[in-house]
Every structure is written in structure tokens, then in C-alpha cells.
Structure 1
Amino acid sequence: MRILANFKVATAAALISAALLGDAVVGAAPVKWASTFSVSSKGAFIVGNPAAETKVVEYASYTCSHCADFERETVPGLKVQYVSTGKVSFEVRNLVRDGLDLTAAMLARCGGKGRFFGNHRHLMATQAKWANGGKLSKATIAKLDAGDIHGFMQASYVELGLVPIMAQRGLTAAQGKVCLADKAGLKQILDMTDEAVGPLGLQGTPTILVNGQVHPEVGDLATLKPYLPL
């Protein structure tokens, strides 16, 4: 009986230790980090383990063709090879370059953390279809010149063809307009942009940070790998 009692104590201690260390307990379902989403204190969106030892941040613009390339060519591999292990998290922050970019950034947030990365990828994949300022009417451009940001975004949503594009993500026109009117979301996007071009001094997009350190030379997975855990 004493041996059995000691075994029970040792087993309980091992299970507690495993839980504290974040180890998987036998029989427990593994955490699917590549489909685990959270929101940072800045209002940016994160996929992966929030407590990951390596935190990768991308400052992105929706009217930047290189950002679209990065999303298509680099992000899938980053998620499969690194984020899925729980050792790396990936965060997308905004560095807004123009009114079209701002409109898309607001739409990407529709649906919250569970919808963001799908929206983000869809907007990047369809960039060539909507990111064309030549589609905008003089009246819409005049709204932006007059400082009517919300009026500009609402009109751009229609004139750029973003209504049917976002409908492919299950977003109705009415829902999109509500998202574009989100004052708190707008402030977060503009604050991220201010920090990027101000204190961080970023010169363009995409710009990658790893654990808070800017790495302007990183443009794909090959140049990012030296900063990622083995």
C-alpha cells in the first residue's frame, strides 16, 4: 500500500509539473497553435502561442505589392514550420500608406480575431482587383481632402469593388459599413502607423520585427530563418 501511495504522489507531482511547464499530458488534445488567435494591447492580431519564445511582427500595408507577396509566399511556411510548434507567434500590425489601405485595414478587422487572418489573406490575394485609386470618383476623393475619413471609406468600399470581394468572406454590405465606422479600430490602426513611422522609424512595408528588434533585411522565409528557433 505504501508503494502504491508513493506512486500516486509521484504521478500527481509529475502531472502538475507538466502542466506548469506547458507540456502535453498523455490523452490531452494537442494545442493547434496555427489556429489560435489573440489580440495584442495595440489592437493588432496574433496567430500562435501568445507566450511563444520568439515573436515575429509584420508591419503591413494593404496597397503594398511586396506585402501581398510576403503573405502569399512566406506566411504559409512560417505558420506550418514554426507557428504550429508553439515556439513562434506571428503578429500583423498596420502601417497605413493611403486611404485605400486604411479602408482595407478597417475591413480586415471585421469579425474580430477569429476572422482577421482569413480577411487579411483575402484582401492581399485580391489586391490587384481593388487597390486602384483610379476607380474613385472626384466626390469620394474630395471627402478625403476635406478630412471626412469615414465618408471616404464608406464610398471607397463601394467604388473599389470591395463589397463583392468581402462578400466572398461572408461579409454583407451592411456589416462592412458598420466595421468602417468603428472609431476604436480606426484609432488603433492610426496609432500603430504613428508608432511605426515615429519611434520605430520604419521606411516601408513589409517590415519585420523579431522580439522587438527591427530586421529590414528580412523579406522572405529564408532571410527570416536565422532569427527563428531550430
Structure 2
Amino acid sequence: MKKIFLTLSIMLIGFTSNIFAEENLVIKRISEGEASAKITIIAYESLTCGHCADFHKDVYPSLKKDFIEKGLVRIEFRHFPLDIAAFNASKIGQCNNDGKSDVMHILYSGQKKWAKGKSPEEATAYLKKFINNEGIKLNFEKCLSDKSIEDFVLNDRIEGVKKFKVNATPTIIINDKKFDKALNYKNLKKYLEKLI
């Protein structure tokens, strides 16, 4: 009887740890803002896209200050890599799986330092060097070879095309509608104010 109980206990512990392991595999969306915000922005971006970097430099700081930090807007960053360098960078940005946007913002601010190279191998070497120089702590090779992260990034791109007809970056979706005006802060602010 004791052996049966011991065997069942070990099986239950093993089963429970498998459940927890599977829960930990859930990949968190990179986002900022309150989940309860009235407005949700989805930003489809490619980390090698110059216009996306401009959005993060010229539009995003004001958007964050005026809308996100006030609890009015939540923004979700979705992956839409346009090339292998962007695909690898997306995997790096997503790798810590904490839902935070820090690594992504660092990649955009230093885009000119790493988004280069004549071959995928050269581009990957520049990306690795940049990550190391910035002191970002992660296992670079493990991040690039993580199949679950790879699938997550590719699924973002597939969903963007299917659901929102995304064909360029950045593409901004506001409450499930494509924002079709020129992407500057003035236009975005005006549009958001009408929704509040």
C-alpha cells in the first residue's frame, strides 16, 4: 500500500510540475499600459525598419507621457519582421519573456549599430556584438534557437496579414481599426482624443 501511495505521489508531483512548466512556456506579449485602458493600440513593427525607429524616437515618448502613463491607452508591440536581421532581433527582444519593452527600445535606439551586414551571418554577428556592448543579459544562441519564440514571432506576422491586411511597417491598429493617416504625433493625438 505504501508503495502504491508513493508511486501515486511521485506521479502527481511529476504531473503538477509539468503543468507549471507548460504555464511558464506561455510567451508574454510586449506591451505597456493598463489592461483596463479604453484604447488599445497594436503596433506591427520590424526592428530593422527606419520608420519604426522614428516612431519610437519621435512619436512614442509623447504618446507614453500623454496617454499610456495616464491609463488611457495600452499599446501592444507585435512582430512583423521584414528580413532575417529583424526576425533575429524580434527573438532577442522577446527572449526574456517578461512582457517588458526595454530590450526592444534599446534595439530601436541603436538600430544603426546592428541592423547591417551583407549576409544573415554578418547581421547576426553585429546584433550579438550590440547586445553584449549594451550589457543585456541573455543567452544569445539559446534565444535565437528557441522554437516557441520563433513561432510566436512568425504567428504575429501571419495574424497581421490575415486579420488587418498589414503589408508595411509600422502599421498602427487602434481598437481593431487601421490608423490610415500620416504617422506623426499630431495626427495620432487628434485621433485618440476623439476616442476618449
* TM-score normalised by the chain length of structure 1: 0.67
Counterpart CA distance in 1 for 2:36 and 2:174 is: 14
Distance of aligned partners of 1:106 and 1:98 in 2 relative to their CA distance in 1, 3 Å threshold: same
1:197 to partner: Cα distance: 2.1
Runs of 4+ in 1 over 6 A off after TM superposition: none
1:43 to partner: Cα distance: 4.8
User: Is 1:171 aligned to 2:156, yes or no?
Assistant: no
Distance of aligned partners of 1:199 and 1:89 in 2 relative to their CA distance in 1, 3 Å threshold: closer
Amino acid at match of 1:56: I
- Bigger radius of gyration among the two: 1
Distance of aligned partners of 1:179 and 1:224 in 2 relative to their CA distance in 1, 3 Å threshold: same
SS in 2 for 1:57: strand
Cross-structure match for 1:74:
59
Q: 2:71 aligns with which of 86, 95, 116?
A: 86
Correspondences of 1:64-143 after superposition (within 5 Å): 64-113=49-98, 116-134=100-118, 136=119, 140=121
User: Is 1:207 aligned to 2:174, yes or no?
Assistant: no
Cross-structure match for 1:59:
44
Counterpart CA distance in 2 for 1:124 and 1:187 is: 22
* TM-score normalised by the chain length of structure 2: 0.78
Cross-structure match for 1:185:
149
Counterpart CA distance in 1 for 2:161 and 2:37 is: 26
1:188 to partner: Cα distance: 0.9
Deviating more after overlay: 98-107 vs 216-225: 216-225
User: Is 1:216 aligned to 2:180, yes or no?
Assistant: yes
For CA contacts below 8 A with separation 6 or more, give which structure has more relative contact order: 2
Alpha-carbon contact 1:210-1:227 (below 8 Å) kept: no
1:76 to partner: Cα distance: 0.8
1:156 to partner: Cα distance: 4.3
Amino acid at match of 1:117: S
Counterpart CA distance in 1 for 2:88 and 2:147 is: 13
1:50 to partner: Cα distance: 0.8
Counterpart CA distance in 2 for 1:108 and 1:193 is: 15
Unaligned runs of 5+ in 1: 1-40, 141-154
Cα displacement string for residues 59-107 of structure 1 (whole angstroms, at most 9, x for unaligned residues): 0001110000001111111111110111111110011111111011011
Cα displacement string for residues 21-63 of structure 1 (whole angstroms, at most 9, x for unaligned residues): xxxxxxxxxxxxxxxxxxxx98531101011001111100011
Alpha-carbon contact 1:103-1:156 (below 8 Å) kept: no
Counterpart CA distance in 2 for 1:118 and 1:200 is: 26
User: Is 1:157 aligned to 2:124, yes or no?
Assistant: yes
Unaligned runs of 5+ in 2: 1-25
Counterpart CA distance in 2 for 1:196 and 1:68 is: 19
Counterpart CA distance in 1 for 2:74 and 2:123 is: 33
Counterpart CA distance in 2 for 1:194 and 1:42 is: 17
How many positions carry a matched residue from both structures?
169
SS in 2 for 1:109: helix
1:169 to partner: Cα distance: 4.1
